[in-house]
Chains A and B, each alone.
Chain A
Amino acid sequence: EADIYQTPRYLVIGTGKKITLECSQTMGHDKMYWYQQDPGMELHLIHYSYGVNSTEKGDLSSESTVSRIRTEHFPLTLESARPSHTSQYLCASSEWEGPLTDTQYFGPGTRLTVL
């Protein structure tokens, strides 16, 4: 059973506020990911990490930043939220055993609305 948690589950916030979306996993996975998902659209990779002190940007340009100070924790921060940031944000992790069997475990997501 995968254990990956995201908080908050829902967030409504005004324009210009700084927010941090939390993601934690208890499986000891080295690889973690952040995806953005709009209704009816595919998941877009915005950030990923291969381990502590490793962070990379994904394909989708994002104004957010991430950090990976501890293996289990991969928070995403928006310095100044805008209505265009309204979306669902999904965090995932994977245990690297090679690409053939690489799969991802997802958290429940954070639904962000910026007014």
Chain B
Amino acid sequence: KQEVTQIPAALSVPEGENLVLNCSFTDSAIYNLQWFRQDPGKGLTSLLLIQSSQREQTSGRLNASLDKSSGRSTLYIAASQPGDSATYLCAVRSNQFYFGTGTSLTVIP
């Protein structure tokens, strides 16, 4: 069964810093990997989707990379802002979606 792990579980940074969130998965037979954002008490919003044949995707200040062979992905957030404070979840699509437990990010003004 696919297992998805996210490190760190929580992260607190001052505003303006660049940061990296990590995701690892045990089975490299995936179709895609996605990063979601979840605000407290809310559902998930898709941020970036990387297909299995792709290496990275970018959207604004966000850049996600995928190394399928090693089972790793990173989400890079540039010039962090207080509005980036949320939980970020990584999910892989194999026979179904498997989610990590998330990284809770706090950006301090």
> Would you give the shortest CB distance from B9 to chain A, in whole angstroms?
8
Q: Does B18 contact A (CB under 8 A)?
A: no
> Would you give the shortest CB distance from B1 to chain A, in whole angstroms?
8
Alpha-carbon gap, A59 to B98, bound state (A): 10
> Would you give the shortest CB distance from B78 to chain A, in whole angstroms?
23
Interface residues of B in 26-58 (CB under 8 A from A): 31-32, 34, 36, 41-46, 49, 51-53
Contact B32 A100 (CB under 8 A): yes
**Total contacts A-B at CB 8 Å:** 61
Bin the interface of chain A by size. Answer: 20 to 34
Alpha-carbon gap, A35 to B85, bound state (A): 23
Given contacts A102-B31, A102-B32, A106-B44, whether A42 and B100 have CB atoms under 8 Å apart is: yes
Q: Does B105 contact A (CB under 8 A)?
A: no
Can you name 17 A-B pairs with beta carbons within 8 Å? A40-B9, A42-B89, A42-B100, A42-B102, A99-B32, A100-B31, A101-B49, A102-B93, A103-B32, A103-B34, A103-B46, A103-B49, A104-B46, A104-B97, A106-B43, A106-B45, A107-B43
User: What is the interface of chain A, defined by CB distance below 8 A to chain B?
Assistant: 4, 6, 33, 40-43, 45, 48, 58-59, 90, 92, 99-109, 111
User: What is the interface of chain B, defined by CB distance below 8 A to chain A?
Assistant: 1, 4, 9, 31-32, 34, 36, 41-46, 49, 51-53, 89, 93, 96-102
Contacts A4-B43, A45-B97, A106-B36 aside, 19 further interface pairs with beta carbons under 8 A come to A33-B97, A40-B101, A42-B4, A42-B89, A59-B1, A59-B96, A90-B43, A99-B31, A100-B31, A100-B51, A100-B52, A101-B49, A103-B32, A104-B44, A106-B43, A107-B43, A108-B41, A108-B42, A109-B43
